[in-house]
């Protein structure tokens, strides 16, 4: 199977089991198109989702897919697991085929999870430098104090890893409930930040990623495709563009 990103002559050669000289002859005879345009260069770079045809017959036509899912508790953010139900297990039939998870949620955390087959998109969306905000509703076991707000804003030092977290926003809703938004996704980060004040998190629910909020019509375990507008807005955010 050809790699996700390859040269046009390598793709045609691998698909048809012909040598590259024959591919160049096909190009000279204007038999090959890429995304509806006649191809002329053997070294043209073919991306994962390019549409390639020979004599009008499709050789490559992979479609990018983007899903949002409402993750329940007791489900792992993985494509496979020998002991636990995974996010992909929640998808019907072949809906999960070829998809991977964009970021993670802990085993007992709930809320918005994204899945895609577009590796470049997911890497861009989760890269720290993209600074895409993730939003969470957090329930605490003990009352939340005003001093937490400034501590989250300044960032916290974790001695074990010798790192200081990037600034995060904490908004107190009431004594035991808060909204938190941050651009990082370090291991158990929110739980550890509240743990700095010896205040355990009893419930963690992701409500949004960037401009995309969890669809309130989705019950736990349900999912739907993202709209073209939702995909483009998230892409623009991850690229640092205005929307």
- The H-or-E segment that residue 209 falls in is strand 201-209
* Residue 65 φ/ψ, nearest 5 degrees: -125, 145
106 is catalytic: yes
Residue 19 and residue 81 share a domain: no
End position of a domain, from candidates 46, 61, 76: 61
What is the count of structural domains for the chain?
2
**DSSP, res 76:** B
Q: What's the CATH code of the domain at 221?
A: 3.30.2350.10
End position of a domain, from candidates 21, 38, 61: 61
With bands split at pLDDT 50, 70 and 90, how would you rate the model's confidence at 239? confident
How buried is residue 174: exposed, middle or buried, by Cβ count under 10 Å (0-12/13-18/19+)?
exposed
End position of a domain, from candidates 19, 46, 61: 61
Edge-first strand order for the sheet with 51-54 is 37-38, 32-34, 51-54, 57-61
With bands split at pLDDT 50, 70 and 90, how would you rate the model's confidence at 225? very high
Catalytic residue among 81, 95, 106, 179: 106
Rounded Cα distance between 237 and 126, Å, is 11
Q: What's the CATH code of the domain at 10?
A: 3.10.290.10
- Using one digit for the tens of pLDDT, what is the confidence trace for 79-133? 888 899 999 999 988 888 899 999 889 999 999 999 999 988 999 998 878 889 9
- Per DSSP bridges, beta strands 32-34 and 37-38 are antiparallel
- Using one digit for the tens of pLDDT, what is the confidence trace for 183-210? 987 878 999 999 999 999 999 999 999 9
Q: Which domain range does residue 24 map to?
A: 6-61
Average confidence score pLDDT of the chain: 92
């Amino acid at each position: 199977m050809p790699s996700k990103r390859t040269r046009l002559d390598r793709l045609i050669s691998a698909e048809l089991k012909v040598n590259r000289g024959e591919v160049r002859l096909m190009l000279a005879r204007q038999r090959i198109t890429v995304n509806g345009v006649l191809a002329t260069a053997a070294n043209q770079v073919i991306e994962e989702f390019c549409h390639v045809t020979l004599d009008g017959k499709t050789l490559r036509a992979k479609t990018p897919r983007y899903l949002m899912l409402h993750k329940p508790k007791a489900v792992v953010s993985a494509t496979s697991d020998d002991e636990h139900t995974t996010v992909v297990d929640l998808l019907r039939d072949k809906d999960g085929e070829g998809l991977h998870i964009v970021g993670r949620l802990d085993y007992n955390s709930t809320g918005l999870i994204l899945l895609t087959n577009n590796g470049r998109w997911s890497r861009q969306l989760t890269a720290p430098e993209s600074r895409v905000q993730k939003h969470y509703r957090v329930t605490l076991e003990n009352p939340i104090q005003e001093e937490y707000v400034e501590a989250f804003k300044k960032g916290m030092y974790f001695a074990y890893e010798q790192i200081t977290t990037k600034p995060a926003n904490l908004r107190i809703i009431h004594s035991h409930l808060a909204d938190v938004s941050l651009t990082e996704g370090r291991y158990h980060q929110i739980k550890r930040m509240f743990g700095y004040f010896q205040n355990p998190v009893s419930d963690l629910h992701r409500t949004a990623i960037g401009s995309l909020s969890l669809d309130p019509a989705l019950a736990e375990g349900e999912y739907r495709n993202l709209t073209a507008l939702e995909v483009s807005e998230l892409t623009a955010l991850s690229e640092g563009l205005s929307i």
